[in-house]
Amino acid sequence: MTKMTINLTDTLYNYVLDHSLQEPPLVKQLREETAKLPMSAMQTPPEETQFLTLLIKLMNASKILEIGTFTGYSTLWFAMTIPEHGVVTACDVDEEWTTIGKRYWEKAGVSHKINLEIAPALDTMNDLLNNHKANYYDLIFIDADKENYMNYYEKALLLIRPGGVIVIDNVLWGGSVVNSLNQSRDVQAIRALNKMLINDDRVTVSLLPIGDGVTFVLPKK
């Protein structure tokens, strides 16, 4: 038996989904529609999204901030998971992609629990801070442009409540973080954040090889 995380072949990955994934039908439909898009790789994997909904349930979370929405797949599942009084604040800059999600949010009867902000996410985060949302959110999910990851993280530390969790996606970037030949701005930004996080005495962190790599951040009280 290996002490390392097992390498998932396509067959083994499908086995994981077949024996774990409990997607609501509308969530699955949105994922399948999104898979047909040229930018479908931007969608969060279903097993990762399901894990986050499990975390939301464990935390009894009701206030979610999502940085990067795309077609609203995770947004939909989050909104279906939180209680009736809960709110998912979803941030994106693209109305075309989010319009796809809106159809499913309405079909699922959860659009009233989703506050979509079409604007640069940093602007929205600053507006939230200016509107008394510091120390407010139960969970913040960061999955947007990588060059701003450090900025998103610092704002998230101000917006997350004590005991809340910040989740940062794509922190392995397809394995490119260890490829010295790849010096793209995205990879450099992710490397810089990863290096900072392990030495950030404000938080406790855990980087897990789920999907494209996910870091869970728990601010210290």
**Global pTM exceeds 0.85:** yes
Q: Which amino acid is at 125?
A: M
111-139: average pLDDT: 98
117-128: average pLDDT: 98
125-148: average pLDDT: 97
Model confidence pLDDT, tens digit, residues 123-132: 999 999 999 9
Mean pLDDT for the chain overall = 96
Q: How far is CA 203 from CA 86, 112, 163, 213, in A?
A: 26, 33, 11, 18
Predicted local confidence at residue 221, as pLDDT = 77
Residue 1 has pLDDT above 80, yes or no: no
Domain 44-219, CATH: 3.40.50.150
**Are the beta carbons of 97 and 87 closer than 8 angstroms?**
no
**Are the beta carbons of 56 and 81 closer than 8 angstroms?**
yes
Predicted local confidence at residue 2, as pLDDT = 63
Among left, alpha and beta (phi > 0; psi -120 to 50; other), residue 135 is left
Cα–Cα distance for residue pair 150/197, rounded to 1 Å: 10
